[in-house]
Amino acid sequence: MTTELRALRKEDWNVWYDNLLRAFGGAVEPAEERELWKALTPYDRSIGVWDGDQCVGTAGAFDFRLAVPGGAVVPAAGVTMVGVAATHRRRGVLTSMMRRQLDDIRSWGEPLAVLTASEPMIYGRFGYGLATHRLAADFDTARVRLSLPPGTDDVRLRYADPAEVLDVCEAVYARRVPERPGMLERRPGWERVDLLDTERHRDGASPLQCVVAERAGAGGGSEVVGYARFRIKPDWGQAGPEGVVQLSSLEAADPTARAALWRFLFDIDLTQCVVAHRLPVDEPVLHLVSDIRRCGLRVRDDLHLRLVEVGAALRTRTYQAPLDVVLEVEDAFCPWNEGRWRLTGDTKGATCERTADAADLSLSVRELGAAYLGGVSLASLAAAGLVRELREGALAEASTAFLSSGLAPWLPHGF
């Protein structure tokens, strides 16, 4: 097989993107959605593999900023649009793209790469570790009640056109980003993704609706402190209405605004269920429900993370306990990361430099990626045989320091 791997040219985008769609089943995308992804495609950060005039492989890397423990928002390549034509599987196409992509990301000076995987088994061999999970829920609102915090009744809710209140909603989202590791700073154009409202997105439900939460501000005005975007899918059974509220996104600046929005969703007339597919695993509403067993909770994998530059990546986050440990890192795919690194840090910052000192812990870059955002403990990885303790006490020290000191890491939207 003779193939050529090259950067994506604008005139090749349609052929390139059609190969991607075919790799994911060949469904036809609505024009609105296709045009948005075309506008968001980073041409200078995307590559394709070509067999003659046929595109047989695609991969891109969005220019993201990712919240990490400690509140910093750091550069991260958002690996996306990865697909290989079924005619060219098991011929090294994917490996060649991953090789080129990680070399490029390193040359751009970005210490992290992140992705969501259609098939999680694929990316471990390229050094990606599973760093966050997401929660899905089917709240039985006919039977589940909420216990609301004081002040909830002070929050005013109103319907609004999703596009007309986009800016104020985005301001609420932006305030939330540093508070939770794994959240993505919204880059230009990305605010439009959650407003996509094609027939494919509706799947028989209503057009996208939006409710904003407001609180009285200084001088008699009001301030938007939260929002919920959702659709309603009507349904009727023999006993009456059985409609479903399909939650798209919900953000709030404080607990009372969040509680007011959830109460609204639970109380919508002619519905008996609120369905949410992307909640953090520590979603606060779980502490307010009257019956957790009637919430239909399911956890699945979400963000996979790779340290492209070990030293730079480990320096960008903080650590919730004092830490001084030498890591022996294995990284066959990116050998520049191999070897020993002394990581010293606390809640104020960290240093991470190469060292010839004896190692305290031994692990692969995949395990470092899994633990990086603080949602997966090094101790649990060690219990699975994936981290080896070489100095007594080093595992407990490092595991405590790496864990997130606040909210669980969470990816608010896919890419």
pLDDT tens digits, one per residue of 220-245: 789 999 999 999 999 999 888 999 99
Quote the CA–CA distance of 382 and 363 in Å, as a whole number: 9
pLDDT tens digits, one per residue of 173-197: 999 999 999 999 999 999 999 999 9
Q: Which of 123, 173, 230, 402 is catalytic?
A: 123
Burial of residue 27 (CB within 10 Å: 0-12, 13-18, 19+) is exposed
Quote the CA–CA distance of 323 and 275 in Å, as a whole number: 42
At 54, is the pLDDT very low, low, confident or very high (cuts 50, 70, 90)? very high
User: Is 91 labeled as ligand-binding?
Assistant: yes
Mean pLDDT of 136-156: 97
Give the DSSP letter of residue 289: B
For residue 329, list its beta bridge partners: 339, 363
Mean pLDDT of the chain: 96
Mean pLDDT of 101-130: 97
Which residues are CB-neighbours of 161 under 8 A, at least 6 positions away?
210
- What is the structure's pLDDT at 1? 60
Q: Which helix (H) or strand (E) holds 215?
A: strand 209-216
Quote the CA–CA distance of 46 and 61 in Å, as a whole number: 6
Mean pLDDT of 392-401: 98
- What is the structure's pLDDT at 216? 87
- What is the structure's pLDDT at 32? 94
Q: What is the amino acid identity at position 213?
A: A
Statement: residue 358 has pLDDT above 80: yes
Determine contact, residues 132/375, Cβ cutoff 8 Å.
Answer: yes
Q: Which helix (H) or strand (E) holds 244?
A: strand 243-252
User: Is 93 labeled as ligand-binding?
Assistant: yes
pLDDT over 90 percentage in the chain: 94
Which has the closest alpha carbon to 317: 414, 168, 181, 135? 181
User: Is 70 labeled as ligand-binding?
Assistant: no
Catalytic residue at 123?
yes
Mean pLDDT of 97-111: 98
pLDDT tens digits, one per residue of 375-388: 999 999 999 999 99
Quote the CA–CA distance of 260 and 295 in Å, as a whole number: 18
What is the residue-wise DSSP string for 192-207? GGGG---HHHHTTSPP
**How distant, in Å, are the alpha carbons of 102, 178, 235, 345, 412 from that of 182?**
20, 9, 36, 20, 8
pLDDT over 70 percentage in the chain: 100
Mean pLDDT of 246-264: 98
Catalytic residue at 128?
no
Q: Which of 128, 173, 319, 415 is catalytic?
A: 415
How many residues does the structure list for the chain? 415
Quote the CA–CA distance of 66 and 17 in Å, as a whole number: 26
User: Is 119 labeled as ligand-binding?
Assistant: yes
User: Is 90 labeled as ligand-binding?
Assistant: yes
Give the DSSP letter of residue 294: G
The sign of the CA dihedral 358, 361, 364, 366 is negative
User: Is 271 labeled as ligand-binding?
Assistant: no
- What is the structure's pLDDT at 295? 98
At 28, is the pLDDT very low, low, confident or very high (cuts 50, 70, 90)? confident
Mean pLDDT of 293-319: 98
- What is the structure's pLDDT at 217? 75
For the CA atoms of 46, 50, 56, 57, the dihedral, rounded to the nearest 10 degrees, stands at -20
